[in-house]
Amino acid sequence: MELYLDLRSQPCRSVFMFAKLNAIPFDFKLVDLAKGEQYGEEFGKISPVRKVPVMKDGDFVLTESVAILQYLAEKHASRLPDHWYPADLRQRARVNEYLSWQQMNLRAHGSKVFLLKVGRRHYPFNTSLSTSALYVRVFVEELSQTVDVLDKYFLGEKLFLCGASISLADLVAVAEIMQPVSSGVDVFSGRPKLSAWCERVKKEVGVALFDEANAAIMTSGGVPQSLREAGLPQIFKDKFKKTFL
């Protein structure tokens, strides 16, 4: 089984952590997003959608981290603890509910904040600096409201997002939340319950694996030295335009 990953990408981190934590063997195939490798010919043959992560299990190619996690959890269900993706109809529905909600919420808003905060140091916005600062404030506020829903609706008084044990939902959530956090937005400030949850997830994952997964974004806010010198490649500029129009 091969996993095509760049650990700067949140969806890659959740798949990486899940596979490693559960001793699911795989070949790590780096697709360096900063170098634009997702647009190369080789990766295009693996996946014409040109996004990461991609899983190649024998001849079966699958995109979308949520689908990959569900596939791996179901494939290895007989030897993994049930809590990752419970067999019970309602418990599973709770995990699916989170996996669905997070796409256009924590994932979308966390990504926007990360892109804006990291990118505006390097990308010459057409708008004035004061306007981009306004964008940052608005998107950070939007993220804050989303994190409130995570904290109050999904976590509530529970130990983990979907119950007393860790599940796919917690891995996906912690991978997403590290993105804006790595760019300097402290979402845990004033949210002790959420902070405790994050520590709990870190403990379940294991500090070594957690740090390994997050190393790429914790360095220089996710932007490698080469990029700082060369300037952002066109692909990032295009992504900026599309995200912030």
Binding site for a second copy (CB under 8 A): 48-49, 60, 62-67, 70-71, 74-75, 89-90, 92-94, 96-97, 99-101, 103-104, 107-108, 135, 138, 142, 149, 152-153, 242, 245
For residue 211, the minimal CB distance to a second copy (Å) is 27
Residues 216, 221: Cα–Cα separation, whole Å: 9
CB 217 within 8 A of CB 8: yes
DSSP 8-state symbol, 34: G
For residue 136, the minimal CB distance to a second copy (Å) is 12
Burial 209-244 (b: 16+ CB within 10 A, else e): ebebbbebbeeeebbeeebeeeebeeebeebbeeeb
Report the residue number, 105 or 210, with the smaller CB distance to a second copy.
Answer: 105
Report the residue number, 97 or 204, with the smaller CB distance to a second copy.
Answer: 97
For residue 48, the minimal CB distance to a second copy (Å) is 6
Report the residue number, 1 or 227, with the smaller CB distance to a second copy.
Answer: 1
For residue 75, the minimal CB distance to a second copy (Å) is 6
Backbone angles phi, psi at 97, to 5 degrees: -60, -45
Report the residue number, 99 or 213, with the smaller CB distance to a second copy.
Answer: 99
